[in-house]
Amino acid sequence: MSPSNPVALILGATGRTGSQLVNLLEQDSGSDNLQLRVAVRKPEQAETFTNRGISTVHLELDQISTYEKALQGVQRLFMVTGYTVDMLSQGKNLTDAAKDAGVEYIVHVGTFHQPSRPQTKLIRHYIWHQLVETYIEASGIAWTHLLPNAFMQNFFGAVQDGKLRMFFGQERVGLVDCFDLARVAGAALRAPQKHAGQKYFLSVEALTMNEAAQILSEELGKAIAYEPLLASDLRKLPIGQTMEPAYFECIVRQMELLQAGQLPDFADVYHNIPQILGEQPTLFRDFVRNNLAAFESS
C-alpha cells in the first residue's frame, strides 16, 4: 500500500461496533484503500492487532497526553467516547487535538437524538452527545455523525429459561445491528466526499418485545415469552456498579420515560441504509439467524 493512502485511526476497536469496523477495513485491498490504524489502551490489546498485521497506537481518552502522538499522520478518525459524563471533555479535547494534528475528517458515533423529538430534550446523555457534535461541526474538520437507535446486540444474554427479559415495557423500539453501523462507518471513512456533512439516523425496524419474542421463538424452535422488567430493576444489575453513576442514571431515566409512553421517538424508523450502502439492512429475524449459536447457548 502506498504511503500516500489516507490513514484511518479507529477508536473503540475492541468494542461491538469498532471490532466489526476493523474487520471490514482489514478485508479491503488495492492501492486506493485506507491505511488502518487502531487505538489501544493496553499492551495485550496491541498484541492482538499486531499479530494480524494491523498498526496500533496508544490512546487513552482520559489521558490527554496520549492524543498528540496517536494522531500523528492521521487523516480520518473514527471517534467514540466513553460511557461517562467525561465524554464532554473527551470529545472537546480529542477534537482540538485532531485539528492540531491535521485530521481532515471525523466519523463520530452519537445517539438517536432527532431534531425536536422528545429524547433530544429529555435524555441527558443524548444532550451531551449533541454538545460534542456541535463542537466537532464548529471545528472546521469535515464530519459525519452516525446516530443509532437500540442495538440488536442488547438481546444477547436477555433470553434465558424460555424468557426474553428486557426493560422496554410494551413500547415499540427501533433496532439496528452493530454490523450495519460498522458498515456505514466503513463507507464513510472510505469516501468522505460522499458522506461529509451527513447525519445518519440508523433504525431499520421497530418491534414490540412481544413481536421480538415471537421471532425468537420461530427461529430458535422453542417458545420464548416476553417478561418486561421495571426500569428501577436496572439498579440491581452489575452494570450499575461498574458504569459511571451519572451516565447510568441517564439510562435508568430513559427506560422510565419509555415505559411511561413518553418517548415515542424510540419507535422511529429510517429506510436509509440502502441509499447509503447500496445494500439491504439486517432485520431482527436475519440477526437472530446470523447469531443462532449465541442465542442457543443462553
State pLDDT tens for residues 158-197. 999 999 999 999 999 999 999 999 999 999 999 999 999 9
pLDDT reported for residue 2: 42
pLDDT at residue 286 greater than cutoff 50: yes
- The span from the CA of 123 to the CA of 129, in Å, is 10
Query: pLDDT tens digit string along 95-120?
Result: 999 999 999 999 999 999 999 999 99
If phi > 0 it is left, if psi is from -120 to 50 it is alpha, else beta; for residue 29 that is: beta
Instruction: Tell me if 7 sits within 8 A of 75, measured CB to CB.
Output: yes
Is the pTM value of this prediction over 0.75?
A: yes
Question: How many CA atoms does the CB half-sphere of 120 hold within 13 Å?
Answer: 10
- The span from the CA of 15 to the CA of 88, in Å, is 20
- The span from the CA of 33 to the CA of 155, in Å, is 34
Cell of 236: 440491581
pLDDT reported for residue 1: 41
Instruction: Tell me if 109 sits within 8 A of 257, measured CB to CB.
Output: no
